[in-house]
């Protein structure tokens, strides 16, 4: 069994935020599969099952994502956990895959690391970083720009395909095939 987690914030006002790109990829995956919804309040998230895969959107808000991931992991005992998340340290449109490592200051990853450790796969979707570090919170909680929205569908699609291949393939092969370079906005 595999657990695929998309990080984001649950309220409607956050729907198109950069911080919600993990939810966007999960929503796209769910559009491809007729997953069975699993209702258990202790999972603290929207959980769907399709064949041997679980798809989770934690509804705890980003900073507490690990609570939801831990509850699902404890119940189902998945062989592989994949977390899809936004990454400030990658320019917009960059897509990278890795196993383990640091959290880069990402509060959702910090929470997951606290609850299940660092041994999980990551699909890192670049959202860029503002030059002024005091604007990081407003950046991640703001909606994608018009230019970014035009590119986002392709990025989400590529992340979705890479995520599914990662479940049955070597991370090196997936990285070579699905990593993307940034999509810079014209000046």
User: Across 10-110, where does the E strand assignment appear?
Assistant: 36-38, 45-50, 53-58, 80-87, 95-99
Tell me how far apart the alpha carbons of residues 55 and 45 are, in angstroms, rounded to a whole number: 10
- Give the containing element (helix H, strand E) for 6: strand 2-6
Local structure of residue 150 (DSSP, 8 states): H
Tell me how far apart the alpha carbons of residues 73 and 49 are, in angstroms, rounded to a whole number: 13
Q: Spell out the residues 6+ positions from residue 187 whose beta carbon is closer than 8 angstroms to its own.
A: none
> Annotated active-site positions, please?
19
82 burial (CB, 10 Å; 0-12 / 13-18 / 19+) is buried
């Amino acid at each position: 069994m595999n657990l695929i987690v998309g990080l984001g914030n649950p309220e409607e006002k956050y729907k198109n935020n950069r911080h919600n790109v993990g939810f966007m990829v999960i929503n796209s995956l769910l559009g491809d599969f007729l997953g069975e919804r699993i209702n258990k309040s202790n999972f603290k998230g929207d959980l769907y099952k399709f064949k041997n895969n679980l798809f989770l959107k934690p509804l705890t808000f980003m900073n507490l994502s690990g609570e939801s991931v831990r509850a699902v992991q404890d119940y189902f005992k998945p062989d592989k956990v994949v977390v899809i998340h936004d990454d400030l340290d990658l320019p917009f449109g960059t897509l990278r895959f890795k196993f383990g490592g640091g959290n880069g200051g990402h509060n959702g990853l910090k929470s997951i690391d606290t609850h299940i450790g660092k041994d999980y796969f990551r699909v890192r979707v670049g959202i860029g970083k503002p030059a002024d570090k005091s604007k990081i919170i407003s950046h991640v909680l703001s909606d994608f720009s018009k230019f970014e929205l035009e590119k986002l569908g392709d990025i989400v699609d590529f992340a979705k395909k890479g995520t599914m291949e990662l479940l049955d393939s070597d991370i090196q092969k997936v990285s070579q095939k699905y990593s993307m370079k940034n999509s810079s906005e014209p000046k």
